[in-house]
Structure 1
């Protein structure tokens, strides 16, 4: 069964392996299989579920809402996000303005079939809206009981510090950041993690398996497997491209004996690695079929010894992305239309 960790400095516990439905629900996987996979996650002890209104243009929230219908709401932690455009993509259908936040949260509540969201996250930083306006809108939602905690996604250390200060002044908690993080993508370690640790903000990390590359199924010198994420433009193909370089794929193959020595599958090794970071509260995992979860949830509670951690670094030497400056290149400088 899955272990639990506190979310930031709050009293909220979340399952350290959290189910995310970014590229599956409403697009890659039909609803029947999606709902079966959510139920498998529940059976495995996962109680925390992450989505966003923009995923499959709101369809992912709808599917998750149907999958969780009938479950005891008090036993679940439901996360969603706001920023990117949905619907007809009018001038106010994007960003972190008070209007867009208000309209978006009510749509998310309706689609998810709940009267409150445990963690409502800024999907990106909005350079075109004052932070005071954004957090004022969030504070209203918290005080109304529609949202319990506030999080962000892919914010820089400086943005986290400024947002945390404003949230504190408004009497609400900024408890989490949701960045990409894996053995191959470590850009948050330089600035974001130390700042977050200081402020009581934890990481809920996405793509701990580097879009599936750390599973070892992408082989150097070979075509990408048919039906894999790398072949599906709707399922994150653009995100995986940077990891498909020959030298990266060769390095990943060197991880196979490391995983075998530790008695783990490659996915388990990848997920266990991110969970060694004490600032990580949860690793987001997705699945297109229930049996995939049976393997990944076994990463929960595993401690990798120093020799294994060192062997991982040796195998991946020269191919790791770890420049803190990459954290400044994620949020668009102007709103996405």
Structure 2
């Protein structure tokens, strides 16, 4: 039977063995924590002296569990490396004492994390800005007030001091409802949406089948976040007599800013982004309908075809409305051109 547990103080977990508890402690813990910790992780916690049973430090994973035992796990604080400055080129659209606006390339992770402790935008910003970056975002995310996926390109703004960070964070949290904040993206999607213009108002949350993905949730679900995407079809590629199209260039405006929002919303209505293996892998066979040249371009396209082409905000010091746009990157421009020629 799975072990009940509660979150204790000071980053601790406390579990109490019920009347059915038996067997090895590490096996019982792995089952009781429902996969939160692996057997190897539990073993390392035991070896590090981070686990007690009835107040006594456990000296080995072989210890047996008995009904009524109280198990306490002290979770050590993570010791992630502090990011260092790296001389990574930045495409700077604007910079002053308060903000820096960049055109992020594909493949650049915004901030350090598991598997990407170096080579990120934060590393580049530390090198470029030195000590002027805002500290509100913490050591790992100095100056970061919003983010783009690793393989999404386009306009991003970074705060260079705490005043700017507070102002911009408030604007992004407001989603432009009472401020001039606006964000717009261009995406190349499979097919042609039935409407030239439309709104997708569907809540999003973590996928139950894959925790790295997001999914549309039912209204009112505990883990559902309100998400609204407005879209407009700008161009149709390989349009057919039956008013369908093989692909389309769409413009998306965000009313909210959820993780993977455009990618999940467009996939949900049957028009996933070209190149999006995570949400549109099942549509790759559509490339077989193209010419060999176009098929080759589509098949080698390495990422979701998504570009944050416009960002507008109120300057944190002057209040001036600032508007920035970045043209389609070369890979998306090539993709659009080859689809036009089909």
TM-score under structure 2 length normalisation: 0.27
**Structure with higher RCO (Cα < 8 A, 6+ apart):** 1
TM-score under structure 1 length normalisation: 0.27
Structure with greater helix percent: 1
Structure with greater strand percent: 2
